[in-house]
């Protein structure tokens, strides 16, 4: 081995280690979540967390972006809930906004709010498709939440679509069929 080959080999090894560490550490990092500090009319802590429920906003006949602030206003004023029902909203550009406080009981899946987190992607995925930026964000978020709460993403009932729990089309066929991809990413 000449000196040049030795140096290349050394650099490759170093890169490999650095890359490996980065990947391992990254899976434990909280993704960038934009905190919104909404005011809620009630707050009750969730006793357990054993499921992540995936939703779409599902406005009728239109696949459009929404803000957490707009959903908060809608859920509070129209639905008369404590505030936004979802814990996280993922915008079309991939931005993750915090909705309800992470430890609070949400309002997103009837009969399952006391043990689950609600993650909503902006859009109507019966009509449109989630953007790749949204898919990247939902994968990162679910992977981090599985680590945080000690959940096995491949276990039945851990990462589910809203329609697995209630009589609804949510999160739309074009997102529902990609739930397996999300689960595998989280492993």
Residue 18: CB minimum distance to Zn ion, A:
41
DSSP sequence for the chain: --HHHHHHHHHHHHHHHHHHHHHHHHTTSPP-EE------S---B-S---EEEEEE---TT------HHHHHHHHHHTS--SS-S-SEEE-TTS-EEE-S-TTB--SSSTTTGGGEEEEEESS-TTTS---HHHHHHHHHHHHHHHHHHT--TTSTTTEEEGGGTSSS-TT-HHHHTTHHHHHHHH-
Which of residues 46, 55, 75, 91 is near Zn ion by CB under 5 A?
55
Binding residues among 110-149 for Zn ion as defined by CB under 5 A: none
User: Residue 57 Cβ, how far from Zn ion at the closest point, in Å?
Assistant: 9
Minimum Å gap between C-beta 120 and Zn ion is 7
User: Contact between 162 and Zn ion (CB under 5 A)?
Assistant: yes
Closest separation in Å from C-beta 142 to Zn ion = 16
Q: Cβ 10 to Zn ion, closest distance in Å?
A: 52
Return the range that interacts with Zn ion (CB under 5 A); candidates 2-10, 96-104, 139-147, 170-178.
170-178
Binding window for Zn ion (CB under 5 A); candidates: 9-17, 43-51, 128-136, 155-163: 155-163
Contacts of 60 (CB under 8 A, 6+ apart): 124
Among the listed residues 175, 184, 61, 45, the one whose alpha carbon sits nearest the alpha carbon of residue 120:
175
User: Per rule CB under 5 A, is residue 84 in the interface with Zn ion?
Assistant: no
Chosen residue from 170, 175, 182, 186 binding Zn ion by CB under 5 A: 170
75 lies in the binding site for Zn ion (CB under 5 A): no
Q: Near Zn ion by CB under 5 A, which window of 27-35, 53-61, 127-135, 144-152?
A: 53-61
The contact set with Zn ion (CB under 5 A) reads 55, 162, 170
């Amino acid at each position: 081995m000449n000196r040049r080959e030795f140096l290349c080999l050394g650099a490759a090894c170093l890169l490999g280690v650095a890359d490996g560490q980065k990947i391992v550490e990254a899976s434990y990092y909280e993704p960038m979540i934009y905190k919104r500090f909404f005011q809620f009319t009630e707050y009750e802590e969730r006793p357990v967390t054993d499921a992540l429920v995936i939703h779409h906003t599902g406005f009728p006949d239109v696949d459009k972006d929404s803000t957490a602030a707009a959903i908060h206003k809608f859920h509070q004023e129209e639905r008369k809930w404590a505030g936004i029902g979802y814990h996280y909203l993922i915008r079309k550009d991939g931005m993750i906004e915090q909705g309800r406080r992470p430890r609070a009981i949400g309002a997103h899946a009837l009969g399952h709010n006391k043990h689950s987190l609600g993650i909503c992607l902006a859009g109507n995925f019966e009509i449109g498709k989630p953007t790749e930026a949204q898919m990247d964000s939902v994968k990162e978020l679910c992977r981090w939440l599985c680590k945080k709460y000690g959940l096995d993403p491949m276990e039945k009932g851990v990462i589910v679509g809203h329609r697995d729990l209630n009589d609804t089309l949510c999160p739309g066929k074009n997102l529902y069929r990609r739930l397996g991809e999300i689960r595998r990413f989280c492993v």
